Structure 1
Amino acid sequence: MHPASQPVSRRERNKQAKLDRITAAARELFAVHGIDDVTTQQIAEKADIGAGTLFLYAKSKGELLLLVQNSAYADALAKGTAGAAEVSAPLDAVMAIVRPVVECNRTQVHNGRTYLREMVFGDPNEPHHHAALTLAAGTEAAIADVLQRDGRRSPETAATLARTVSAIMFLTMAASTNTSRSTDDLILDIRDQVAAILPA
C-alpha cells in the first residue's frame, strides 16, 4: 500500500480534532474580546483541554493568534490569486490579490495589527510563525507572477516590485495612525502607492 493511501491513525485523528477545537475556541474568543483580553486558560477551557495540552500546540498566545489568522490569510490569498487570474491590467491584478488580504487582516483591527507584529518579531522556529512567513512569501510570489504576465518585466524586477508592494501593504495595515480608517480607505491608499511604483 502506498504511504499516502494509508488510513490516518486514531492518534492522528485525535490530535487533529484537538487542534481544530483549539483553533475554533481561539478564533471565537479573539474575535469577541480581542487578543489582549483573552487568556490561554480561557482558550483551553473552551476547547475542553488542559492548559498543558494547549501549549503542545502553541507555546504562547501570540502563536495561537498566528494559528487562527494563518487559516484566514490562506483563504484570502487563495481568493485573491483566483481573482487576479481574471484581471489583465497589472495594477488591477495586484489589487485583486491585496484586497482580500487587507480585508482579512482588518476583520478585527487590533488582532490584525498584533498578527503582523507577531509575524515580524516572533520566533521563526515556531511552526505557526513559520507558516505566517510562508504565507507572506506566497503573497509576494503571487504578486510577482501577475507583474510578469505581460512579458515586460524580468522575474527579478517583478520580485523586487512584489516585495515593495508587500511592504506597502503591511506597513499600511500595521500603522497606528490607520487604526480608525476604513478598510476601503486603506485599500485606496495602498492602490495609490502601488500605482506610483509600477512602471507605466
Structure 2
Amino acid sequence: MTKAGTKPAAKRAPQKAPPMGRRERNKQEKLDRILAAAKDLFAAKGFNETTTQEIADRADIGTGTLFLYAKTKEDLLIMVFKDEMIETSQTAFRKVSSDAPLIDQLMQVFGAMVAYHNRDLPLARALIREITILSGPERREDVRLLMRIIYDGIGDIIVNIRAREKIRSDIDLTLAGETFFGIYYLGLIGWLSGQTTKQAFLKRLRTKLALSIDGLRLQGVETAKRRIAP
C-alpha cells in the first residue's frame, strides 16, 4: 500500500534478450534446417533407413557441418523430438481435470503420452530405445529437462489433491513423480517391444498406479505400522 500523496513505484519493463548477431543467426538457421530435414526424413523413410548424408543433403549442408551440430543420428533423433515431447507433457498437465481423482489425473497425463507415441510406433521404438540408454552424454541435459517437467507436473498434481485424497504430507514429491513415471515407462517399453497390447498396457498401468497411490495415503502408513508391529 502506498502512502497518501506518493506515487506507486513504476513497474520495470521486462528486459529484452539482446538481438542475435549474424553468426548466431546463421548457426540457428542451419540448425533449424537440419532438424526440419531430419524430422521429414524420419517420418517418410523411418529412422533406421534414413542416413546422415540424406539429412545433410536435404538441409543443404555438408556432412561435416551436420556433425558439428549432432555427433550421431541418434543425437538428431532426440534433438528433433525433444521439444515435441516437452510440449506434449506440458499440454497434458495443463489439460488435466483437477477435480478428478488422482488415479484419473495420472491416467490422463500418461494417456496423452501414449497417444503421442502411437502416432508412429517404429519411430517411437527408436526414440525410447535411445532415451533409455543414451549413446553419448550430449543429449543428457535434454532428457533431464524432460524428466524434470514430468516429475514437477506429477508433484503439482499431488499437492493440489493432497487434502482431498488424504495424501501424506511427508512424501518426497520428486520421488513420487519418479515412481509413477517409472511404472508408466516400464509398461511403455513392454508395449513398444510387442510384449503386450496397448489396451492391456493401459489396464495394467491403472492397476499398478492405484497400488502405488494407496502407499501415499495416511491410512497406508497406519496399515504398514500394524503389519510391522509384533
Residue of 138, 151, 162 corresponding to 2:149 = 138
Whether contact under 8 Å (2:74, 2:135) holds in the other structure is: no
Secondary structure class of the residue paired with 2:160: coil
Q: What secondary structure does 1:35 align onto?
A: coil
1:9 is the counterpart of 2:26: no
Alignment check: 8 A CA contact 2:86 2:149 kept: no
Partner amino acid, structure 2, of 1:64: L
Query: TM-score with structure 1 length normalisation?
Result: 0.85
**Mean Cα displacement is larger for which, 136-145 or 15-24?**
136-145
How many angstroms apart in 2 are the aligned matches of 1:15 and 1:163?
Answer: 36
Contact 1:63 1:129 in 2 (8 A): no
Query: Where does residue 186 of structure 2 map in the other structure?
Result: 171
Matched AA of 1:119: I
Show the counterpart of 1:102: 114
Identity of aligned residues (%): 31
Alignment partner for residue 129 of structure 1, among 140, 159, 165? 140
Is residue 66–residue 129 contact of structure 1 (8 Å, CA) maintained in 2? no
In 2, Cα distance between equivalents of 1:130 and 1:110? 24
User: Is 1:28 the counterpart of 2:43 in the alignment?
Assistant: no
Residue-by-residue CA offset, 1:66-119 (whole Å, 9 max, x unaligned): 011212101101111101264442112212221222222232212212222212
RMSD between aligned alpha carbons?
2.3
CA contact (8 A) 1:116 1:170 kept: no
Residue type of the alignment partner of 2:194: T
The one of 80, 86, 90 aligned to 1:78: 90
TM-score normalised according to structure 2 size:
0.75
Are the structure 2 counterparts of residues 117 and 133 from structure 1 closer, same or farther at C-alpha, using a change threshold of 3 Å?
A: farther
Whole-angstrom distance in 1 between the partners of 2:170 and 2:23? 44
Distance in 2 of aligned mates of 1:12 and 1:174? 39
Corresponding position of 1:116:
128
- State how far apart, in whole Å, the 2-side matches of 1:27 and 1:189 are: 33
| Number of aligned residues | 196
Q: Which runs of 5+ in 2 are unaligned?
A: 1-13, 218-230
- Residue 22 of structure 1 contacts residue 54 of structure 1 at CA under 8 Å; is this kept in 2? yes
Distance 1:61 1:5, change over 3 A: closer
Task: Name 2:224's counterpart in structure 1.
Answer: none
Unaligned 5+ segments in structure 1 are none
Distance, in Å, in 1 between the alignment partners of 2:94 and 2:66 is: 35
Provide the rounded CA distance (Å) in 1 between the counterparts of 2:201 and 2:26.
Answer: 42
Which residue, 150, 165, 189 being the options, matches 2:161? 150
Alpha-carbon spacing, 1:157–1:53, altered in 2? closer, same or farther (3 Å): same
Moved over 4 A (4+): none
- Counterparts of 1:155 and 1:21, CA distance in 2: 48
Query: Would you say the 8 A contact 2:154–2:177 is kept in 1?
Result: yes
Alignment partner, residue 51 of structure 2: 39
- Max Rg structure: 2
From 45, 64, 69, the equivalent of 1:57 is 69
- Describe the superposition over 1:118-151 as per-residue Cα deviations: whole angstroms up to 9, x where unpaired: 122215630x332123202321221122123233
Structure number with the higher helix fraction is 1
Q: Is the 8 A contact 1:144 1:162 kept in 2?
A: yes
